[in-house]
Amino acid sequence: MRILVFGKTGQVATELARQAGVVNLGRDQADLSDPVACAAIIRETDADVVINAAAYTAVDKAEDAEELATLINGTAPAAMAKAAAKRGLPFLHISSDYVFDGQGACPWQPGDTPTPLGAYGRSKLAGEDGVRAAGGAYAILRTSWVFSAHGANFVKTMLRLGEGHDSLDIVADQIGGPTPAAEIATVLATMAKAFHNGAGRSGIYHYGGIPAISWAGFARQIFASSGMKVAVRDIPTSAYPTPAKRPLNSRLNASTLAADYGIEPPDWKTGLNEVLKELGHLKNDKT
């Protein structure tokens, strides 16, 4: 099986690149701000499955650049999915918890009505709608709070800030599931194999780490696992204003993914230790 991946340097794309049979396309080869060119690549590929792991991910900047965010996160995936459908190729696409408004405390179900709070969420929802409307075999994987040893993410930010601070103020009223990028890549590869073998099921799926925790709680675990002596002070979202509103509830119910593909939510603490080990920050690591 040959998998064509749009994205090369992002967290999930980097993890996908470690798997056999995967061909990653960087921005220099496939720029999602040019949907027509990306669709043309799919029309000519000899791959068996297409995965879109590229996106506009600057949540705050999207508030002032919604047109560009929508082009990359909405128009491009729609065009790519249409090209894949015409070729009879399954199209797998990564989406986000930001398509929801974060109300309540119950984990979001795939069938819940999306109501994005900001431009980034609206752009991701546009992509979902375009992929679904393309008419081909597809899977949309919504995930949350992605972290890895690569790129920019909360774990690396905490390690950096922790080096120069004895204490940090961290938001405690946003609750979600930190999700290792390596596990997301494994899920996508598993789904791709299922489609290739004729057992794939189209639909929207959720995948987030368990147990649910706040950003402040996540930070405490990062510092504990890395052996850094940094005190975490809980603050509300209102004390840390950002251009884009963040959902307070990012919990995702992954039961449909378990039922259709036999994939259970990942233990983010295990994934955290693996990332800290790769970064050389795991406490008492003797390997």
Could you give the residue numbers annotated as active site?
120
51 CB-side CA count, 13 A: 34
Task: Find where tokens 């965010």 sit.
Answer: 69
Q: What is the torsional sign of CA 18, 121, 29, 9? A: negative
What is the rounded distance in angstroms from the CA atom of residue 139 to the CA atom of residue 137?
Answer: 7
Residue 71 DSSP symbol: I
The 91-96 sheet, strands edge to edge: 22-25, 3-6, 49-52, 91-96, 138-143, 203-207
Q: 166-201: buried (b, 16+ CB within 10 Å) or exposed (e) per residue? A: eebebbbbbbbbbbbbbbbbbbbbebbbbbbeeebe
Please, which residues bridge with residue 207 across strands?
143
What is the rounded distance in angstroms from the CA atom of residue 158 to the CA atom of residue 192?
Answer: 33
Pairing of strands 138-143, 91-96: parallel
What is the rounded distance in angstroms from the CA atom of residue 172 to the CA atom of residue 216?
Answer: 5
Q: In whole angstroms, how far apart are CA 214 and each of 76, 188, 234, 281?
A: 33, 26, 10, 22
Contact at 8 Å (CB) between 146 and 11? Answer: yes
Q: Which two tokens stand for residue 173?
A: 């009223």
